[in-house]
Amino acid sequence: MPQYNPPLRDMQFVMHEVLDVVPALRELPPHAEVDADLINQVCEEAGKFCAEVLFPINLSGDSEGCHYDPATHAVTTPKGYKEAWAQYVEAGWPLLTAAPEYGGQGLPHLVGSAVHEMENAANQAWTMYPGLTQGVVELLSAHGSAEQKDLYLPKLASGQWTGTMCLTEPHCGTDLGLIRTKAEPLDGGACKLTGQKIFISSGEHDLAENIIHMVLAKLPGAPEGSKGISLFVVPKFLPASSDGKDQRNGIFCSGIEHKMGIHGNSTCQITLDGATGWLVGEPNKGLAAMFVMMNGARLGVGMQSLGLTEVAYQNALAYAKDRLQMRSLTGPKAPEQPADPIIVHPDVRRMLLTARAWAEGGRFLAYWVALMLDQAHLHPDDDVRKDADDLVALLTPIVKAFISDNGFDATNACMQVFGGHGYIHEWGMEQYVRDARINMIYEGTNTIQALDLIGRKVLMDNGAKLRKFGKLVTDFVEAEGVSDSMQEFVNPLADLGDKVQKLTMELAMKSMQDREEIGAAAVPYLRVVGHLVFAYGFARMAKVAQVKLAQGATDQTFYQAKLQTARFYFARLYPESAGAIRMARSGAKALMQTEAVFA
């Protein structure tokens, strides 16, 4: 049956040996006292909670799902979810990265991301409840009024209350300029909101006392399109009235979606029927404010997929070592058994190594971006903050789309390792495939991420952000290119760096003649840049592994495995970049001059 062991050794390798996070964090005044022992201890304790509390209710929660009562509009979460939430809150986990002024522990975003990976590996559906709440905390911290911060943040940060983001409507998803939800100003500064929202994760449940909805709506006379969107905070229960009782607000769940996966999370249809809400930030500036939460959610989706990739790999590896089928092509490897374990077969190893490589590359990228996010927020040097912020902006769509694309590929491969048993619910593998599939869709589909990367993050600033990343690649290549042992990693990295530069210039020129060229090239372009980022990560990890092996580190097998995984990545996964470059260059004609096909 399914199992999960937090990958603490590899997490520590990425944080301390590759990224060397402690000196970087100590440059940030709020984290000047952070050390490796603290980071490791937090991750170890979080890992225990994930493995012992969250993981045991993952498979059962998927089977049971959430229950909706149309008479009361109430949603009941699966058995064990509420108890797990109580333990989570009691242990103080929601406060991990929250600001101390609101009762939080104020630890780095990096530490929160590492914990988030394990939570998602153990139970993605459950983890969405606190994950979205953290997004509301960050949004109100950035754009809320002093009164809103004092009222909402302590209870959201503690887990006493939870939060949601209410964007999508039945007729519009990504194109939020089409929303119809209206906000009518009332005396006293509040507004009355009316409208419908759909696909609202964690929109109603029985875990917490109150749910704080962040709602996009339009004020009277607002400009058309996205320039007329405002943001409102709309609580399920209004703050206590003069009689001391919380009043039920006019926002309620009018149904839950019956989904392919993440059954333990309530994906709700939300009705606003004269609900009272308060403006957050400036009128008609709501979309820009909501991007704080949206970008955080996109990074969170990357962590969801990373977690699923890791847990799927662990289970597939254990199964492949135990399952006996046929003999090795080179003769029996377990002659005392009636057949060999399937891990002896080349294609089984290909599938396992694919998942492992996607997990290790994704972990490097996700933790690196999390560290830069801390630097972007807190570093005392303006230039360092600006560089970190630019790289986070560039890499956010890659974290979301590349890691989630790879996560679906990995969970599929791991299910395949199980053969027919992988298709059976009790083994847990088909759930990982179903859960992983949503990550390519929500928080902006991966096509939207690709368009964001090439259009807004690369071409809009004439490649300035991309050049900052390119300089990191160039500096690494120049430093390590003289090492014979690093040639197998540095040469393909340098080659792809040159090709990305040429491809970007080519697409920029073509887009001046026909904007459709950008839409046609966006998805393969993201795959190419994603491989450049992963190639950089694997080369860095390989360098550390070589140094440790040369120094005679006691954990020789660990570092040998690092090199072997890096070699597999460059041999079997990196070559996708060549085909993706050809696709990106193939142009829009084969897609857009197809009227007869769709007649």
Tokens representing residue 250 in the block: 């006019």
Q: Classify residue 406 by burial, with Cβ atoms within 10 Å: 0-12, 13-18, 19+.
A: buried
Instruction: Note the CATH number of domain 8-67+75-149.
Output: 1.10.540.10
| Residue-range domain boundaries for the chain | 8-67+75-149, 162-284, 463-599
What is the three-state SS of 310-352? Answer: HHHHHHHHHHHHHCECCCCCCCCCCCCCCCCEHHHCHHHHHHH
Which fold is adopted by the domain 162-284?
A: Butyryl-CoA Dehydrogenase, subunit A; domain 2 (2.40.110)
Q: Tell me, what's the pLDDT at 386? A: 98
DSSP helix/strand/coil, 553: coil
Is the Cβ–Cβ distance between 556 and 549 less than 8 Å?
Answer: yes
Q: Tell me, what's the pLDDT at 245? A: 59
Could you say which residues of the chain have pLDDT below 50? 242
Q: Which amino acid is at 20?
A: D
Task: Using the Cα atoms of residue 432, residue 433, residue 434 and residue 439 in order, give the sign of their dihedral.
Answer: positive
| CA angle centred on 453, ends 14 and 307, rounded to 5° | 35
According to DSSP, the residues that pair with 269 across neighbouring strands are 255
Q: What is the pLDDT of residues 323-355, one digit of tens each?
A: 999 999 999 999 999 999 999 999 999 999 999
Non-local (6+) Cβ contacts of 127 within 8 A are 54, 116, 119, 120, 304
Q: How many residues does the chain have?
A: 599
Q: Which of 74, 101, 132, 140 is nearest to 278 (CA)?
A: 140
End-to-end CA, the chain: 50
Is the Cβ–Cβ distance between 296 and 138 less than 8 Å?
Answer: yes
Catalytic residue ranges: 443
DSSP letter (8 states) at residue 172: B
Give how far Cα 415 sits from Cα of 61, 187, 380, 419, Å: 20, 58, 47, 7
